[in-house]
Amino acid sequence: MVNLDKANAVLQVIVNPQATPQEPLPRPHLRPVQKPVSKPNKVPKSVTTNNSGPRSQANLRNYVAEKERRAYVEKFIADQKEIQKQTDVAMKRMVEDATEKLKKLAEYIADNTHLMARDYRVHEATGRVTVKIYDSVTGEIIREVPGVEFLDRVHKMEELMGVIFDKLI
């Protein structure tokens, strides 16, 4: 709601500026004026005063502490950037070394695959597929996946499981 007395007082001042109102005029809300931020490299005037009181000493201590904190943070950031550069260089070297080793391995495999042969078979007892990789020149078995001994044990365990469950049922 509008206060009519205040509105009338404002109108009276506008119409007759020399008349003084009975109550103070309403003022719009004013925001506080913000102080300009001082540059971090310069000592603020409040710190450089010649007052030797406890307040100026506290300001000086706070200013020095803030300056030390900023210097520490700047040094920390610089150290982190240097560490990142060193890490990037080391990672680049590691990737290049790994790439070279993979190229050599790929060349070796490409050169020697004609010497390797594969044999696919089905294990009779379990019905699972086995793969034998052997040297085609010497006939030596390089690898067998899964091994015949392993499949024989699996078959034996399946038989025993059948015996146990057949008797329980």
Contacts of residue 6, defined as CB under 8 A and 6 or more positions apart, other chains included, come to 23, 25, 26
Q: Measured between alpha carbons, how far is 111 from 136 in angstroms, rounded to an integer?
A: 14
pLDDT higher than 60, residue 21:
no
Give the lowest-confidence range in 44-58, 111-125, 149-163: 44-58
152: Cβ contacts below 8 Å, ≥ 6 apart: 125
Give CA 52 to chain center in angstroms.
49
Per cent of the chain over pLDDT 90 is: 21
Helix spans in 16-135 (H): 45-48, 54-112
For residues 6 and 23, the answer to whether their CB atoms sit within 8 Å is: yes
User: 30-44, 48-62, 70-84, 147-161: which range is least confident on average?
Assistant: 30-44
What digits encode the pLDDT tens for the residues 53-87?
Answer: 556 777 888 888 899 999 999 999 999 999 999 99
Band of pLDDT at residue 168, cut at 50, 70 and 90: very low
Q: Which residues of 150-168 are buried (b: 16+ CB within 10 A; e: fewer)?
A: ebeeebeeeeeeeeeeeee
- Work out whether strand 141-145 and strand 129-135 pair parallel, antiparallel, or are unpaired: antiparallel
Read off the pLDDT of residues 81-108 as tens digits, 9 standing for 90 and up.
999 999 999 999 999 999 999 998 888 8
Which residue would you say has higher pLDDT here, 74 or 115?
74
Stretch 10-23: mean pLDDT: 57
